[in-house]
Every structure is written in structure tokens, then in C-alpha cells.
A and B are shown apart, each in its own frame.
Chain A
Amino acid sequence: EVQLQQSGAELVKPGASVKLSCKTSGYTFSNYYMSWLKQMPGQNIEWIGNIYGGNGGTGYNQKFKGKATLTVDKSSSTAYMDLSSLTSEDSAVYFCARKGYYGYNSYFDYWGQGVMVTVSS
């Protein structure tokens, strides 16, 4: 059974950084891309970027370049996302999601449970 287990809720001060984790099981981590997504109340889900489990190759949404840094630890099948210089606009629920493929089509077939990040002094 494919599972993506995210780390717990975070309360961080403005200007600080936070590192979120997404520990996977039930599939070959190095064969798939992992994406990170942001969901704020009342707003569209936003794709932040993705990282390939095999070699750590990354791709980012231009909007989140400089804000998010994605890494992986293949030995523990875990993906990470660092968020830096946090402001109130970064308060949101963040999801990791595995990227699945059907021919040239792709989609997010498994999701973590989400983690709430609250930026407040």
C-alpha cells in the first residue's frame, strides 16, 4: 500500500524557515517524482515544484523560486521541502503528492495528509 506520511503542524515566526518532511512507503521511491502543493482557504491549490526520487532533479513553479527548496533522502525514501523567509502569506496547508503517469498524461495519484504551517509572532 502506497503511503505518504507528512510531519506535524508548524508554528513559526515571521522571517524564520521551516523544513517539512514526507516519508513514503509501499513503492519504489527512486522511480517517481514527488510534488509539493500549497492550499490556502478559499484559494486555488498551487503547485510549488517537484523532485525526482532517483537523482534529486528538481523543477519549480516560478512563483516559488527562492521560497521553496526541495530535497530527497533516498536511503529513507523521504522528501523534504524547506520554506524560507516566512511571511503571513506562507500560512497554508502544504501537501506532498506522488506524480503518476498514463502515457503522456500525468496526475497526482497519492497524497500526504497535509501539514498546516502557521506564520505568526
Chain B
Amino acid sequence: DIQMTQSPASLSASLGETVSIECLASEGISNDLAWYQQKSGKSPQLLIYAASRLQDGVPSRFSGSGSGTRYSLKISGMQPEDEADYFCQQSYKYPPTFGSGTKLEIK
């Protein structure tokens, strides 16, 4: 299975700060990478697909980039409602696999 190594495990950010979360795949995944946000007690919500495409309805402060084995999610201007867990996920090879998650908190 493709391993997805996500960093950092946790992160504190001030309101308005720009934050980045990284995901490293154990082999190339050809941009078949999605990012999800999960708030406490809720189901994950799709933010980004195909590494950089913004899901409908997701604020434009969220962006994704990367290629090959390295991908990142950027939040440009932290908002209170962005406090959540974030996961990356590859669908390049079966089975789809997820990163271990990043807990993002407000400083």
C-alpha cells in the first residue's frame, strides 16, 4: 500500500496567519491527491481534489499544490472556523490511503 506521511501532527496558528500542511507519498501518485477537513464529531469534508482543484463551496483561502510524491495544503489567513483536523488521501493505487492527520488549532 502507498504510505502517506503527513506533517506536522499538530499546529497552532494566529488568526490571519498563513499555514501549510505537507504530505509525502511513499511513491509517485501523479497528483491523485485530495485534502479533507474534519471538525470535531463530524464527517470529513472535501477541500481539494486532483492536488490543486478547489471543491465547490470551499473558501478560496484554501489551496493545494505539489507533484510527484510531495504535496501541500495552504490556508491563507487562518479563520476561527478553520480549527479542525486535516487529512490527505491518495487514490492513485488501490487501496486508497490517508495521512495520519494534522490538528490545527487557534493560538
Contact = CB atoms under 8 A, between A and B. Distances in A.
A23 to B, nearest CB: 15
B98 A45 contact: yes
B100 A44 contact: yes
Interface stretch (B15-23, B74-82, B86-94): B86-94
Given A44-B101, A61-B95, A113 B46 contact: no
What does DSSP make chain B's interface, helix, strand, loop or mixed?
A: loop
Interface residues of A, number: 25
Interface of A: 35, 44-47, 59, 61-63, 95, 97, 100, 102-114
7 contacts: A44-B4, A44-B97, A47-B97, A59-B94, A105-B91, A107-B50, A112-B43
Interface of B: 4, 30-32, 34, 36, 42-46, 49-50, 53, 55, 87, 89, 91, 94-101
Which 5 pairs from chain A and chain B are nearest by CB?
A107-B34, A111-B43, A107-B49, A105-B50, A61-B95
